[in-house]
Structure 1
Amino acid sequence: MMNPNGNPAQSLTFPAAMGQAQRPTGPILGIVIATVIFFVAQLAALPAGLPTEGAGLTFVQQAVLTGSFGVGAILLMLWVRFKERRPIRSLGFAAPSAGVKILRGALIGLVMISAVALITVATGQGTLGAPNWNALLPALVLLVGFTIQGSTEELFARGYLVQAVSWKWGLLAAFVVQTVWFTLLHGANGGITVVPVLNLVLVAVFLGFWSLAEEGLWGVCAFHAVWNWGQGNLWGAHVSNMDVETSVLSFRPTPGASDLISGGSFGFEGSLVSSLMLALGTIVAVIMVRRRRRAATADPL
């Protein structure tokens, strides 16, 4: 279908943007390229040293680990621009309402991760120590790193992989691929069990539908950044079985607390409270996608 200005490329929806490429990448090569670029880029973090399971994550380690994701983002953008020959904005970064989507995504991320923390404390499964205001500025600096890290993961999973796979195999296959890829990407985290895996799947599905509802990645990038940052640097919970040393608050499971509720040593993403929040978010995102499709069908243009 052609848009009113006669440019067929501009009428393509966000998942179908691979159709804008002069030299498009197919599903198999797309999966290989995304995986190779992502893991090669992680070599940039090696100078900071790899934290051991259960050990504290220092400010420098956290800054380098999160910031190094930007290398992968740059490499993927170069592939899209010079190999595929399509605009970088086609990955999900169209300009209209970007600021609104970013603010909304960040706010939803803050509300949801805060709800997880407060529900856990309210049910007696966790406690909060006194705030450390001296950590506020360093924590805000680390939010920049999480913005790079979270946005890069969205760029690869909900952006590039969805576009590379849906172009030939359809949107359902693209959703399956991005969900499996995203889950396996985090599968090496220490102490991972069934609940963290469930939550990884829920995050992938939730953010997948959200990106469809907004026709892009601005909102999900902001959500991902604040959700990740809020766990350790704001609330002070463990993150994937690691203790974050730079945190404003200090969450700890109460003695005898259920790991299913508190998340245990793994952190909030090992909690069924997170599962509940992510499931609710998924339901809302699905409703928004359906409303968007109904509105598009009803539009005579």
Structure 2
Amino acid sequence: MFKNQSGQVRAGWLILLTFIAMLIVQQLFSLPGILLLMFTEAPFSEGFSYLDMQTAFDSHPWISLLMQGGGTVGGIVITFLLWRFINKGSMKELGFRGSLKDLWFGLFLGALSIIFIFIVLMATGNVTLLNSLSNPHFSIFTITFLVLFILVGIFEEMFFRGYVMSTMASRGNKKWVIYVASALIFSIAHGANPNVSLLGLMNIALVGLLFAYMFDATKSLWLPIGYHITWNYFQGNIFGFAVSGTAPNGIYSVELAEGHDWLTGGAFGLEGGILATMLILVGFIATKLYSKSKNQKNTGSL
């Protein structure tokens, strides 16, 4: 039950152990930010139980970063420790290898995807820009969320792709099983997000497959990390859409047309719309062309 025919602990048990440990450690690393928020806000409220957390975060962006970023750092730390001492693997084996060109291409592709969706929604009247493109509203959130989304991109790819896929591969699982398992775990982990929708969870599973393909095609985490960072950041902190249900703080503010959530994603963000589905599919093609070009250059240089 716990071990396979080779005497190895089954991948599912290792992944479950790491996932549970990750949740616990994330809470511990978030605790300083939570306590600081309590001490800062509680004296001015009727009671901490009535505290509007989102309003508190908006009032204290650095405390928000300490809490959310701290939890993300905790996830990175525990994933690395369990990979190093339980799986007995190196950082290279986890996926931190290859050229940083992969990172730059991922950053470009993620940003371009969100920009394209934004342009289509604007052109079709499904989104109204509340401040002009020539009048961006920069704030402290422009910095804090950049740091946060960099950490989130590293952590989530490190765990959902690097740890999950590499652990399953080391146990001889078939490639399609590894892809599907990674994507489903990724989607399920977002299931408790605010304003979640069925299409949103389907798109998160689909982008999980894309990230798995990026990791597999390049043998590196850099491409999915880059895409993940700019997909989130451009969605929430450039154009002002919700990010997987969480409130945006963009340099631009947008108003969504009512009744078209299937297209705009509604309160869940662009991931809840059909345009995201299309751009994620385009991502598979772009990744294939990129990895093919990269392989041809490497072959030509030998």
The alignment's TM-score, normalised by the length of structure 2, stands at: 0.79
Equivalent in the alignment of 1:120: 121
- Superposed CA offset, 1:85-144 (max 9, x none): 3322211111x422x111111111111111111211111111112166452554134212
Structure 1 range deviating more: 36-45 or 58-67: 58-67
The residue identity in structure 2 corresponding to 1:82 is F
CA RMSD of aligned residues (A): 3.1
Aligned to 1:29: 13
Report the Cα distance in structure 1 between the residues aligned to 2:113 and 2:70, rounded to whole angstroms: 24
Structure-2 separation of matches of 1:266 and 1:54: 16
Answer yes or no: is the 8 Å Cα contact 1:92–1:217 preserved in 2: yes
In 2 relative to 1, CA 135–25 (structure 1 residues): closer, same or farther, beyond 3 Å? farther
| Equivalent residue letter for 2:177 | A
The equivalent residue for 1:105 is 106
- 2:179 aligned residue: 175
Alpha-carbon distance in 1 for matches of 2:64, 2:259: 28
Amino acid across the alignment from 2:124:
T
Matches of 1:24 and 1:210 in 2, distance apart? 28
8 Å Cα contact 1:112/1:277 also seen in 2: yes
Alignment match, 2:151 = 148
Deviates more, 1:102-111 or 1:280-289: 280-289
- Distance (Å, rounded) in 1 between the aligned partners of 2:253 and 2:8: 48
SS at match of 1:65: helix
Identity fraction in percent? 23
Give the direction of change, closer, same or farther, for the CA distance of 1:192–1:53 in structure 2 (3 Å limit).
farther
**Residue 71 of structure 1: SS of its match in structure 2?**
helix
- Change in Cα spacing, 1:116 to 1:206, as seen in structure 2 (3 Å) is same
**Alpha-carbon distance in 2 for matches of 1:89, 1:24:** 21
Structure 2 SS opposite 1:68? helix
**TM-aligned CA deviation for residue 286 of structure 1:** 4.9
The answer to whether 1:185 aligns with 2:189 is yes
Q: Distance in 1 between matches of 2:63 and 2:243?
A: 14
Structure 1: unaligned runs, 5 residues or longer: 1-22
Change (3 A) 1:206 1:260: same
With a CA cutoff of 8 Å and minimum separation of 6, indicate the structure with the bigger relative contact order.
1
Rounded to whole Å, the distance in 1 between the matches of 2:204 and 2:69 is: 18
Change (3 A) 1:219 1:53: same
Using the TM superposition, give the Cα deviation of residue 273 of structure 1 relative to its aligned residue in structure 2, in angstroms.
0.8
Tell me how far apart the structure 2 counterparts of residues 138 and 211 of structure 1 sit (CA, whole Å): 30
How far did residue 191 of structure 1 move? Answer: 2.1
Q: Is the 8 A contact 1:210 1:285 kept in 2?
A: yes
Matches within 5 A, 1:1-301: 26-43=10-27, 44-45=29-30, 47=34, 58=58, 59-60=61-62, 62-63=64-65, 64-94=67-97, 96-98=98-100, 100-130=101-131, 133-135=136-138, 138-168=141-171, 169-244=173-248, 246-254=249-257, 256-286=258-288, 291=292
CA distance in 1, matches of 2:155, 2:89: 18
- Conservation of the 8 A alpha-carbon contact between 1:54 and 1:241: no
Residue aligned with 2:128, SS: strand
Q: Distance in 1 between matches of 2:91 and 2:8?
A: 13
Cα distance in 2 for residues equivalent to 1:136 and 1:210:
33
Give the total of aligned pairs: 272
Instruction: Describe the shift of the 1:31–1:74 C-alpha distance in structure 2 as closer, same or farther (beyond 3 A).
Output: same
